[in-house]
Structure 1
């Protein structure tokens, strides 16, 4: 005997019923079949709504029932040949089910009362109607079929709504029925049963699975197949994790854990009856019958992965019983659970501190209020005496669980779990693990479930791939080059580094373009121009609210306000990659706060391009200090702009013209006065001094300006006008250096806690003398590099180069 159960989607329409019957016909060719069917998709919810509407005195229930009856009539009409002599009889039998439901609802409407017993009777209409349709049509597939009322086979107690099954009586009735009904195919309505008095009961939502399992166990079936709309149990909920994949083979225990923790494919009580009898359970896809699905069995082959699946339960509330009066006193746990049991409150999770100072249990959110009342009443004396605190509920939580037989005695699983969640800012409120080590459960905020499951699936099932989500602010000169580089390198990053780098949002000062699935990096300029307006604060909230795993905020601006949102993002474990120098050169307290937040929340804060564009200046400095070296002195040319200007100025062209050329070629800051005044270089040496361990403010940097004071007055155009007016000043600077056989370089200096920037005449033989074009150079004099400095030298300006430096920081952040 084979038992095949078909869910609501599998019988939701005439076409789906045909597919289901074709599967049964194929199975019947191999031997007798019990076909258990659910109500047509959506019917049970509709019937519950009908009952509640009638109880409220809302007469619209009549129209809803009429629509349900018509839906079933049409389904039967589409399936049954028009010439069939018995068609009218079959339609009348079907209509009678909805006439009975209407009569029941009329009584509810009159009394304004809907009991659980009445609701069970009303809900049974769905499975009764669908199974009648299927049994009627089965004959056209040349199957010897009979409709069997499940209420004649499955016996329960009288706990309406979720009745408990009398296993022995059910087996006895089913065995006797089998002896007298040798038909090849039984069509049985799922979900419904009857108590000892013949009153209709139900087995709880998802109970059709349970019906099938009970019959399989009672009949000693060779197998049980659950036909649904997915190809088996999945490694995670595919609605939350796009890369979730089917689990081919799994043990009963693992399947039970996953189904309990929210795997929607299987109703949790289903497993127990077949597990006791050792009956294999297949989960198959009605719409892809050739797919392997999932085989649940006693001893499956050892899985290739340590973890079999990841699942979750939402709508959870934690109840914390705490107090010093609990320590060393026996009986508190017993009283707590007895108080909850009296209110028929199911405990989902339990954890207790080793100090015995607190006990924490998880319950469904709807049970939290009665649970709090019951427990506070139970411990009223201790609460009044101050030995125990009143029960403290924590709402809006969820459980995320790892499940797998191979986790037993396998070290490092918990560490990997906690590390993956911690790196993405997912706080774990409680932890529970059974002695069997098949399940590790964590309680987290409900809003973090999607991110947590994706992070864990990536860690345990996608070791070769890591998804990274970028939020880019400032698609200007450097930002647009960065986006070009990202578009070009995305395939390479995935293939060689296992990084799936997605740009989720691009924002400028006017618009914000967002696509959580990743933007098309070939069409973003046009799409951004049409995108909605968004403030910087709204952009920050967008990043936080999307709550995507491995999020990185990329600031490619010079905007002080943008730097102002770093702290909030780091506190949410969003990594920061900053081309913007403002934050790292702001007040030392703010700089230190950002560094601290980065460590506290395990979120990278990288700003290599703040000094030397793509040159590894900060990275080299960090490597020196981390390895125990001490930086004693630094000497550097840190402005590609100024180096470009002084390398090109020889008095034959006006100084102002050379500066304009540098700006046109993208070497200057948006405001070139920051470069020419020395402010930008001062920021850079300040950042290096801080990274070397020095506590220093911007006011501590001595800026030796070479510009006449008038050049710094007014706006940018006035700046150029004044430079032109003072051409003789710049020519004199050049000529003085030339006469001395030297070259002009704008040099930053740091030594023993003091720093300065200014124009210097550099003699031949000096490391700075031959610096060409827009190159930068940094000389590190340390305890290890005393006489011969460690030199970092290369292009220090330009949009393409700077973008590549930002790109490199993104990859560093992604791989941490």
Structure 2
């Protein structure tokens, strides 16, 4: 004897019912088939009940929709000559439902007994429809009403089964009934007084388990719309995978903590009889699914079997000196809750006995607080105990595994993983059996928590990085191309999975939570929505994805001004935009503080030297205890390119124009040529060396004529370069005369900084600096006589993009 239960999705419509019957046809031997209501019907009936209780007659068309859905299913399933009796049964059922709901609407209330009658029709109708269809192929199939076999108490809505009576009735019936297939409605039963009762949420699973246990079935099969129990909710964690094997206790833990594929009480009857349970997919019947048993092969697998969660949790904390050492305080608390029939999901108590914290369903929080405060009203009046504190909008997440107790460090790994993603833990509980570790967190962090834990425990330590990119021009475009080119390599060799979630430019933005296909990002962005930075930030905050990184490829002041908002949301910031780090010192320091406080990396290697490892090297010097005394540098690849190519055959105007066209300068070349860009760079190095300085403290010895500095547009600036061509020619001739080369040098020494054009002699390291290269000399305690020298390409879209990419990879390897 096998027992099969088909869930609501498996009988949601005529097409699915046919699939379910096809599965039955493949099964050999005697079978009992337990059927849930058509998918969504029970929820719809509950909504109709609430509407009717409020005196709102809009429940009537909703009830008619449910009736029509059943009639349409019959029409699609059965030949016309086989429909009449079933249609009559459906009409009779809905006539009765209409009468009950009309009375509810008039009275404005509904008893739990009548509620059970209304809800029972979902399973009664679906099971009868499947039975009538099945009879066409299996004429000897029979129908049995579960209410005649399963007897309960009168606790309507969540009745307790009287197993002694129920087992006897089931065994007696099936001893006499030798039919090959028996169809039964799930979820419903009958009290000893003869009234319809229901078995609570997921009661159809429970019905099937009760039957299987009473008859010592060979196995119980739960047919649903997923291929077994998953390592996490696959709707939230896309990388979740089916669990091939799991123990009864592990399945109970996961079900208790919200794994909706199985109703937790289902396990108990089959556990006592050691009957294996299979969770199977109606729509992929050949998929292995999940086997629930106590098989020994489970011992050497991952100690964590799954990660689950419960939403809509409220924490209630009772604390005060009046709890310390007082016998019976906990008993009084739990008794007060029990009297209100409130289920406690989570318990933790401080070892000091100063506080007790419980987790319950959020919709029962007000009632629970009232009961607790009433129980301890004397102590509250005496100020020995504080009034109970209620916290809402919380969820419980849990790691579940039978063998967790035999593995060290799982709790530490769980909490450090959550901490790295700035997920605050409100309370923690772990039983002595160590089958689960539970933590209470903010509801808004559930998706991030489940994904980051799943990544840590199930995905071979592959770290997913979610990028939000602002600026897709010269540098940004190259960056996206590099990410697309290296995605596979990074996943295979560095265990980093990069997804670009958003891209934006000054006009458009586009988001895709599943990741943008980078082969077509330009077309996607072109068809995106209008860009609004406030909306962009809001979407990033709402998504709340793990390992989120905001990548700023712009030179935009407004964008640089919102880094703090990202950091406060635990979103890392990677930028080539120098404005933030060269702004006021307090803002620079604040961004650093926020980065540490919210565990959100703030990386800006490309602010100085494009892809050169200048800032990272400097950070390592300072972290290792070295001290910088002097910095000499050529920090502008664009200016170095300009002065290396400026000669008697190539005018200053032409060289600057070439540098702009090739992407070596800022969009406004005056920023480079005025020295502002170099001032920002040396300022960042000074600050990273541990010195506080503002940009106006740096002496700027400009080589540009006053008229060029005062131009208001790029066009005017270039015109001024032509006008003052003799000025630049004079500089060049002076360098030739001194047998020197022109280099724009930044310097810091003894607390003073300057930038300006210098005549560099042959013996100086700067003399042979070619092309668009940068060079930095650090004079420190350890590098006193011979400075630490860093040299290489310091401008260009490709090298800047590679520097940004390196910062992103650095975050991935933290």
Partner of 2:374: 377
Question: Partner of 2:152 in structure 1?
Answer: 156
The alignment partner of 1:634 has SS state of strand
The answer to whether the aligner puts 1:513 opposite 2:521 as a matched pair is: no
- How does 1:97-496 map onto structure 2 within 5 Å? 97-142=93-138, 144-301=140-297, 302=299, 304-496=301-493
Structure 1 residue 274, shift from structure 2 partner: 0.7
2:136 is paired with a residue whose SS is helix
Say whether 1:644 aligns with 2:641: yes
Conserved? CA contact 1:3–1:215, under 8 Å? yes
1:298 is displaced (CA, Å) by 2.0
Aligned to 1:72, which of 49, 70, 73?
70
How far does the alpha carbon of each residue in 1:678-715 deviate from its partner, in whole angstroms, 9 at most, with x for none? Answer: 22112111111111222222233222222232321122
Residue pair 1:25, 1:143 contacting (<8 A) in 2 also: no
- Asked if the contact 1:745/1:760 (under 8 Å) is kept, the reply is yes
CA displacement at 1:259 relative to structure 2: 0.3
Conserved 8 A contact 1:567-1:597:
yes
Q: What does the per-residue CA deviation read over 1:178-216, in whole Å, with 9 as the maximum and x for residues that have no partner?
A: 232222322111111111111110001210000111111
Deviation at 1:175, TM superposition (A): 1.8
Residue 112 of structure 1, CA deviation: 4.0
In the TM superposition, what whole-angstrom CA distance separates every residue of 1:444-471 from its partner, at most 9, and x where no partner exists? 1111111111111111111253221111
Matched, 1:6 2:6: yes
SS for the counterpart of 2:259 is coil
Q: Deviations over 1:202-250 (max 9, x none)?
A: 0012100001111111112121111111111011111111111110100
Could you list the per-position Cα deviations for residues 402-456 of structure 1 after superposition, in whole angstroms to 9, with x for gaps in the alignment?
Answer: 1112211312212221222222222111111111111111111111111111111
1:21 corresponds to = 21
Q: Would the alpha carbon gap of residues 77 and 518 (structure 1) be closer, same or farther in structure 2, given more than 3 Å must change?
A: closer
Deviation string 1:320-348 (CA, Å, 9 cap, x unpaired) is 11223323333222221111111111111
Q: CA separation in 2, counterparts of 1:106 and 1:536?
A: 52
Distance 1:46 1:706, change over 3 A: closer
Note the C-alpha offset of 1:14: 2.5
Q: Distance in 2 between matches of 1:536 and 1:728?
A: 45
* Cα RMSD after superposing both structures: 2.0
Distance in 2, matches of 1:569 and 1:663, equals 32
Map of 1:747 onto structure 2 = 745
The change in CA–CA distance for 1:63 and 1:711 in structure 2 (over 3 A counts) is closer
Structure 2: stretches of 5+ with no match in the other structure:
none
1:5·1:208 contact (CA, 8 Å) conserved in 2? yes
The alpha-carbon deviation at position 77 of structure 1 amounts to: 4.4
Deviations 1:44-102 (A, max 9, x none): 22333444444444455554444434433443444444456xx5445444543334333
Aligned in 2, Cα 1:61/1:537: closer, same or farther, shift over 3 Å?
Answer: closer
Alignment of 1:622 with 2:608, yes or no, is no
- TM-score, normalising length: structure 1: 0.96
Change (3 A) 1:206 1:674: same
8 Å CA contact retained: 1:143, 1:184: no
CA distance in 1, matches of 2:128, 2:180: 17
CA shift at 1:307, angstroms?
1.1
Matched, 1:603 2:595: no
Alpha-carbon shift at residue 618 of structure 1 (Å): 0.8
CA–CA distance in structure 2, aligned partners of residues 65 and 537 of structure 1: 44
Q: Which residue of 1 aligns with 2:716?
A: 718
Equivalences for 1:686-725 in 2 at 5 Å?
A: 686-715=683-712, 716-725=714-723
Structure 1 residues 4 and 739: CA distance shift in structure 2, 3 A: same
Shift of 1:374: 1.0
Does residue 796 (structure 1) correspond to residue 791 (structure 2)? The answer is no
Deviation larger for 249-258 or 350-359:
350-359
Partners of 1:513 and 1:527 within 8 A in 2: yes
What corresponds to 1:571 in structure 2?
Answer: 568
Deviation at 1:284, TM superposition (A): 0.8
> Where in structure 2 are the equivalents of 1:490-569 lying within 5 Å?
490-569=487-566
- Change in CA separation of 1:739 and 1:80 when aligned onto 2, cut-off 3 Å: closer
What displacement does 1:776 show? 0.5
Q: Which moved more, 1:609-618 or 1:486-495?
A: 486-495
Q: Which stretches in structure 1 are left out of the alignment for 5+ residues? A: none
Deviation of residue 143 (structure 1)? 5.7
Distance 1:292 1:525, change over 3 A: closer
Displacement of 1:813 in angstroms is: 1.7
SS of the aligned residue for 1:688 comes to helix
Q: 1:94–1:132: 8 Å Cα contact kept in structure 2?
A: no
Secondary structure class of the residue paired with 1:792:
strand
Whole-Å separation in 1 of the counterparts to 2:505 and 2:16: 50
Describe the SS at the equivalent of 2:369.
helix
Q: After superposing the two structures, state which structure 1 stretch, 156-165 or 169-178, moved more.
A: 169-178
> What is the distance in 2 between the residues matched to 1:526 and 1:135?
53
Equivalent-residue separation in structure 2 for 1:233 and 1:134 (angstroms): 26
Query: 3-state DSSP class of the match of 2:775?
Result: strand
Q: How far apart, CA to CA, are the structure 1 residues paired with 2:757 and 2:631?
A: 16
**How far apart, CA to CA, are the structure 1 residues paired with 2:688 and 2:62?**
70
- Specify whether residues 183 and 749 from structure 1 end up closer, same or farther in structure 2 by C-alpha distance, changes over 3 A only: same
Secondary structure (helix, strand or coil) at the match of 1:226 reads: strand
Instruction: Provide closer, same or farther for how the CA distance between residues 673 and 68 of structure 1 changes in structure 2, counting only shifts above 3 A.
Output: closer
Task: Give the match's secondary structure for 1:693.
Answer: coil
Report the Cα distance in structure 2 between the residues aligned to 1:402 and 1:116, rounded to whole angstroms. Answer: 36
1:169 offset after TM fit, Å?
1.4
Secondary structure at the counterpart of residue 186 of structure 1: strand
Aligned mates of 2:526, 2:38 — CA distance in 1: 47
2: CA distance between counterparts of 1:349 and 1:164?
A: 23
* 1:21 to partner: Cα distance: 2.3
Asked if the contact 1:638/1:777 (under 8 Å) is kept, the reply is yes
SS in structure 1 of the partner of residue 261 of structure 2: coil
Instruction: Confirm or deny: 8 A CA contact 1:143 1:185 kept in the other structure.
Output: no
- The match for 1:658 is 655
Residues 1:759 and 2:757 aligned together: yes
